[in-house]
């Protein structure tokens, strides 16, 4: 073997996880005597990039796919960088934040999503800091993170390696809507319940997501497991510290944000969740505003003009502002279709501005509308907490041990509440953890962090 090949020992460390075909290719190149080193350029690049966390090899497997090896830090636990190799990279999303790729891990064959965002070297990345704290079955998991260089000088990108989940609530709901079908109510319950669980968990840390919408609710359509994603707008709210009010996607923006409040609480997530629930029941957004002002108009058309006290609770600076007085119609006066009158005694205080058109479908469960009424409240403190929402009677069906998914599969884990999740209201455990789940927990080995399993 030529003497220059001895200097390649460190380079071989980068390819020890690669497939046999690549290794054989490299060994053949090193073994055969040639007047010119065929890998000089590759080695030069590898040496030049040795101080960086990412080395990409274009000598992939037989189908020509690119294999990338990075030195990444695990999302949870101690900072112990390790080599991670992935392949089959393709773009699956992009936006002002950056780009999202799908990739396959070489060692396990698992699919992951890699979110690549420009890193401002002056600040720590808030999304990374928050995601490293989170570990919950209904929140997308941060597996690794690493940094890579950009095309411009001194440009650095943060790459978040996340669980890949194939679908979103947005796409599933749109599929049913286009087919002029209704989303089965058991799925509405499953999706919303898991969303509230994820919110109860992050709110227990003081973290507010600030961008709850169907597009950020990932779904596995086979298991019905929901995972909350995209913490790019999330923030740990501190009482007394101001926050930006121009946050959250318009259709799901809480009214206090439209009023310009900067001292809001995590109850803005609850409002957004209420909008998602209403959308799943309606088949379309409940407040489809074309602008910030129009968004407020849409809300007033549904809930009526807020009282002075309600405005004070949202933003005291607007109490003297003159709003048009819209007299909203109570549910008892809503006409779902011509010639029919439908009464919902459970939620008479939720009002709608509707003239002879259907609001919710005629067979919408009264408990679903009642839950909406407790989420879509002008006064932030009047809204249910996420944990209280989980305990609502609308979700009682999920606590029935005999209920299965429409495809015949068992329900996902719904009752494995941790003490952290229950910390806001431990007394709700008797409702949230049904007797059959408590029995299963008693029969199994308990852990010090989980209240039960199921």
The candidate with the shortest Cα–Cα distance to 89, out of 126, 115, 108, 107, is 115
CA distance 12 to 27: 10
Report yes or no: 378 and 313 within 8 Å, Cβ to Cβ: yes
DSSP assignment letter at 384: P
Catalytic residue among 61, 151, 211, 290: 211
Whose tokens are 């040496």? That residue is 47
CA distance 143 to 49: 24
Residues with Cβ < 8 Å from 100, sequence gap 6 or more?
91, 92, 93, 94, 113, 114, 115, 116
Helix (H) or strand (E) holding 118: strand 111-118
Phi first, then psi: give them for residue 405, nearest 5 degrees.
-70, 155
Residue 432 corresponds to which tokens in the numbers above? 């949230």
CA 219 to chain centroid, in Å, comes to 10
Residue 114 corresponds to which tokens in the numbers above? 């890699």
- Pairing, β 235-236 against β 207-208: antiparallel
The candidate with the shortest Cα–Cα distance to 437, out of 422, 424, 453, is 453
Burial of residue 290 (number of CB atoms within 10 Å: 0-12, 13-18, 19+): exposed
DSSP assignment letter at 432: H
Answer yes or no: is 333 a known binding residue. no
Q: What secondary structure does DSSP assign to 33-100, as a single string? A: --SS-TTHHHHHHHHHTTTSSEEEE----TT---EEEEEEEESSSS---EEEEEEEEEEEEEETTEEE
Whose tokens are 């849409």? That residue is 298
Is position 396 annotated as part of the catalytic site? no
Binding site feature residues for ATP? 116
Point out the residues that are catalytic: 211
Q: Which residues are annotated as a binding site?
A: 116
């Amino acid at each position: 073997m030529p003497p220059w090949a001895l200097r390649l020992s460190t380079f071989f460390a980068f390819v020890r996880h690669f497939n046999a075909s690549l290794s054989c290719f490299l060994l053949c190149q090193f073994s055969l005597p040639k007047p010119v080193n065929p890998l000089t350029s590759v080695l030069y690049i590898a040496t030049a990039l040795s101080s960086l966390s990412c080395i990409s090899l274009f000598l992939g497997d037989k189908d020509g796919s690119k294999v990338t090896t990075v030195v990444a830090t695990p999302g949870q636990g101690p900072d112990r960088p390790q080599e991670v190799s992935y392949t089959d990279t393709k773009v699956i999303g992009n936006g002002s934040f950056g780009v999202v790729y799908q990739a396959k891990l070489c060692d396990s064959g698992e699919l992951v999503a890699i979110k690549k965002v420009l890193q401002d070297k002056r600040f720590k990345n808030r999304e990374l800091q928050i995601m490293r704290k989170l570990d919950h079955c209904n929140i997308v998991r941060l597996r690794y993170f690493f940094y890579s260089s950009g095309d411009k000088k001194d440009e650095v990108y943060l790459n978040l390696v996340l669980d890949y989940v194939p679908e979103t609530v947005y796409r599933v709901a749109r599929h049913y809507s286009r087919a002029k079908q209704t989303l089965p109510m058991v799925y509405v319950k499953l999706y919303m319940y898991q969303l509230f669980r994820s919110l109860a968990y992050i709110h227990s840390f003081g973290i507010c997501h600030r961008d709850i919408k169907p597009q950020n609710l990932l779904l596995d359509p086979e298991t019905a497991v929901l995972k909350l994603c995209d913490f790019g707008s999330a923030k740990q709210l501190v009482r007394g510290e101001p926050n930006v009010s121009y946050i959250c996607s318009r259709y799901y923006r809480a009214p206090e944000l439209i009023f310009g409040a900067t001292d809001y609480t995590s109850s803005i997530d609850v409002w957004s969740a209420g909008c998602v629930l209403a959308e799943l029941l309606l088949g379309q957004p409940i407040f489809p505003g074309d602008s910030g002002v129009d968004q407020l108009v849409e809300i007033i058309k549904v809930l009526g003009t807020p009282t002075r006290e309600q405005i004070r609770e949202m933003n005291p600076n607007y109490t003297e502002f003159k709003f048009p007085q819209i007299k909203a119609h109570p549910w008892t006066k809503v006409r779902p279709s011509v010639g029919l009158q439908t009464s919902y005694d459970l939620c008479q205080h939720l009002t709608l501005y509707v003239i002879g058109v259907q609001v919710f479908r005629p067979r919408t469960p009264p408990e679903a509308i009642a839950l909406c009424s407790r989420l879509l409240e002008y006064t932030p403190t009047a809204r249910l907490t996420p944990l209280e929402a989980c305990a609502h009677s609308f979700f009682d069906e999920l606590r029935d041990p005999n209920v299965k998914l429409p495809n015949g599969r068992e329900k996902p884990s719904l009752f494995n509440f941790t003490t952290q999740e229950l910390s806001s209201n431990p007394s709700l455990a008797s409702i949230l953890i049904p007797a059959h789940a408590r029995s299963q927990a008693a029969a199994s080995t308990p852990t010090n962090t989980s209240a039960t399993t199921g």
